[in-house]
Amino acid sequence: METRQLTCIGCPLGCQLTVTLEDGKEPVVAGYTCKRGEAYGKKEVTDPTRTVTSSVRVTGGEIAMASVKTRTDIPKDKIFDVMAEIRAVTIPAPVALGQVILPDAAHTGVAVIATKAVAKR
């Protein structure tokens, strides 16, 4: 049996959640005030995910960088793998909003897309 301490992000209250994990059983969340806290606690211990945002260098653009994000959440433990790929990218202008920068970032199956259009210089 394992317990994990989390802070709920649902609202400013920031409930301190204790999640108890036992093999083969549904995680048990304690310390929440509302249902959002319980759901958050379960998700965080079974399948924590995040959206990664960053920016990539643009060549020949009117600005130096284009901001990017993973189109959807990726597993939390893949954040740095995705970042390593993003940091290696340089793209030529023009860049369209929503343009795919990396089709499958760090084998997550999630694309990294531009969140800003960059016109040619």
Contact positions vs other proteins (CB under 8 A): 6-14, 33, 50-55, 57, 63-65, 67-69, 76, 79-80, 83, 87, 97, 115-117
Least gap, CB of 24 to other proteins (angstroms): 28
Least gap, CB of 28 to other proteins (angstroms): 20
Q: Quote the tokens at residue 22.
A: 């036992």
Among residues 22 and 30, whose Cβ is nearest to other proteins? 30
Least gap, CB of 100 to other proteins (angstroms): 15
The H-or-E segment that residue 90 falls in is: strand 90-92
Task: List the 2-7 sheet strands across, edge first.
Answer: 2-7, 16-21, 28-30
Which residue, 66, 61, 120, 121, is CA-closest to 98?
66
Among residues 46 and 51, whose Cβ is nearest to other proteins? 51
Among residues 6 and 25, whose Cβ is nearest to other proteins? 6
Phi (first) and psi of residue 33, to 5 degrees: -100, -35
